A and B are shown apart, each in its own frame.
Chain A
Amino acid sequence: MSAALKVVRAGLFDTLQDLGRVGFMALGMPTAGAMDRVALSLANALVGNSANTAGLEIGVMGPDLLVEADSVRVALVGPLSPALIEGPDVPPKPIDSDRSHLLKRGQMLRLGMVEGSSTAYLAVAGGFALAPFMGSLSTYPRAGVGGFEGRKLAAGDALPLARDHASPGDDRKLAAAFDYGRGPVRIVWGPQEEYFTDAGRRTFVESDYRVSKEADRMGIRFEGPIIEHAVSVAKGGADIISDGIAPGAIQVPGAGLPIVLLSDRQTVGGYPKIATVASVDLPRLGRLLPGQTVRFQAISVAEAEKLRREQEARLVRTIADFKAARPPGGIDLARLYEENLIDGVVFEPART
């Protein structure tokens, strides 16, 4: 039997995502990809995968997954309540996020609600044995492509694993939670900031905007003060000749409220875009929940590029600082024997 993770109970909106399908926007193909690139990269690093390996993006509520492989190492990043391992003969045991876990055949990973964020990620060591579509495993359900059969997961799906057993070695965990940054969401003016009055632009950066219920992988519709167009909407002030849409583009249709466009955004569009979210803050946007409030702050392109490079350096440091995850009370001798690692580990000084 080939190795798989079997979906026993589906979550609400679980899709396989990597860092996106690049290179085909000219053909109208959206990039899709992880809403929170940082969390996916960390989950992948915890199990030794490269950052662009497809993982499971868990939206709102996670699934129950049965291990149909000798063993598999998985990593969870993002707060899930509860997250349990159970069975077949063992009662459910809570497990921590932000670390990897070794699972055995017949065990079930039971994932509940995502808390304090709209997304969490599950990576599996070695990744999934699925064929990429146009170079990527990112699921784009509107076209039925990528991921597992081009759709969100459903009960009964068996996600094929690239490895039928986990490599020996310690589980790993984050030494400290990754700092996504606080304060205003940084934006760069443009491409169509001149479609708005000075007052309209001030309104945009001097007001609180609340995430509405219309928030998904395509984008987030915000509620708050109306942003004034420079030319009246009746005279076409909210229409442009369609142009390309970058990730984080903030379009303002005639109603005057901003919509931030994210992973599943269409490739071109005909509404003026007042500004674009700096890429450093896109993972934060990907985590926002309805009802949360943000303030936007304008920075230059060069500042945005610098902040992104600093964030990448912080991500690299976070990964370099991963610690070995040990069970409470010390070393799990049984597991160490089982994995023939005892000689190498027992006399080694404790890692920090």
Chain B
Amino acid sequence: MSVRYLSCGDTAFTVEFGNEISPEINGRVMALHAAIGGARDAGDLPGVVETVPTMRSLMVAYDPLATSRADLQPGIDLLIARGLPTGMASRRVTLPCCYDDPEFAPDLAEVAKRTGKTTEQVIAAHLASPFKVYVLGFMPGLAYVAGLEQSLYLPRRTQPRVRVPRSSVAIAMDMTTIYPFESPGGWHLIGRTPLWMFDKRREQPVFLSPGDSLSFQRIDRKTHDRIAREVEAGSFDWAKLVNAP
């Protein structure tokens, strides 16, 4: 599979692996993201500033005072030619989610109606979906998480909400997401996690990373409120949500 190099001025270029969304293409994106990270850790590819993975491409940002496109591109070609690992191990992350309060899940009944399911079946389908974090963007910590069970696919709301509460769990198209901030939003709100996807007090303020495997665990309102208090106080143990690869 060949790649295309797209110019992004004199401080970046994009390595495009394809023009479609597929786990195989994203796997190669993430593998190159990791390979460049590894090369930089080893002192190679000087002048590379950072890499930005998306569904189907990797943007490589560089400092034109330290290197050049002509110097860098052969190094990237070489990494690709050496063969990118497939099926890379990923973190497995479990997020608690409360679906059981109309305040948290204002769109659950409508989603059920439009997909011909009961609300319990919608929740079961969300819990059973094999989610994967593809890309973070739009705002810090906002993850586009694909893998939603196909029977739940719906377009975005025709009338976006002006105010979606922080930590709302939402679905649209083939994806789910968790709002890191209170913000406008057009996705269907089906639950809420007590966790903050962006917490500037934490050493790693953004919890999810591209490549993470993700699943949800159902909790009741009481458990939600207890965890929410711990998160607010900064005493919550985030490590227990993560199984290292």
Contacts and interface: CB of A to CB of B under 8 A. Distances in A.
Contacts of B58: 244
B140 interface: yes
Given A134-B205, A192-B6, A247-B11, A23 B57 contact: no
A22 B141 CA distance: 15
A350 interface: no
Contact of A242 (B9, B135, B139, B198): B135
Contact of B54 (A134, A150, A241): A241
A66 interface: no
Interface residues on A, range: 35 or more
Contacts of B69: 301-302, 305
A137 B12 CA distance: 23
Interface stretch (B59-67, B90-98, B104-112): B59-67
B175 to A, nearest CB: 12
Contacts of B124: none
Given A26-B51, A28-B141, A246-B11, A302 B198 contact: no
Contacts of A150: 200
B51 A301 contact: no
Given A30-B140, A244-B59, A279-B10, A268 B135 contact: yes
Nearest to A187: B9
B138 to A, nearest CB: 6
A305 B205 CA distance: 34
B31 to A, nearest CB: 14
B243 interface: no
Interface string A276-309: 1111100000000000000000000110110011
Given A28-B142, A29-B206, A143-B140, A244 B14 contact: yes
B50 interface: yes
A305 B68 contact: yes
A49 interface: no
Q: Of residues B54, B56, B143, B206, which shows the largest number of chain A Cβ atoms within 10 Å of its Cβ?
A: B54
B211 to A, nearest CB: 10
A27 interface: yes
Nearest to B49: A22
B53 A26 contact: yes
Interface in A249-287: 249, 266-269, 273, 276-280
Interface residues of B, number: 48
A142 B200 contact: no
Nearest to B203: A134
A26 B64 contact: no
Nearest to A249: B8
A318 to B, nearest CB: 16
A189 interface: yes
Contacts of B21: 241
Shortest 10 CB-CB contacts between residues of A and residues of B: A244-B59, A276-B9, A191-B6, A268-B137, A304-B10, A28-B136, A246-B8, A244-B52, A190-B7, A246-B12
Given A25-B61, A188-B7, A304-B9, 16 more contacts: A22-B61, A26-B51, A30-B140, A143-B140, A143-B198, A189-B7, A191-B6, A241-B55, A243-B57, A244-B52, A244-B54, A244-B59, A244-B61, A267-B137, A269-B137, A279-B10
Interface of B: 6-14, 16, 19-21, 33, 49-59, 61, 64-65, 68-70, 135-144, 181, 198, 200, 205-206, 209-210
17 contacts: A24-B140, A27-B136, A28-B138, A28-B141, A28-B142, A133-B205, A187-B9, A188-B10, A241-B19, A242-B55, A243-B14, A268-B54, A268-B138, A301-B9, A304-B10, A305-B64, A308-B64
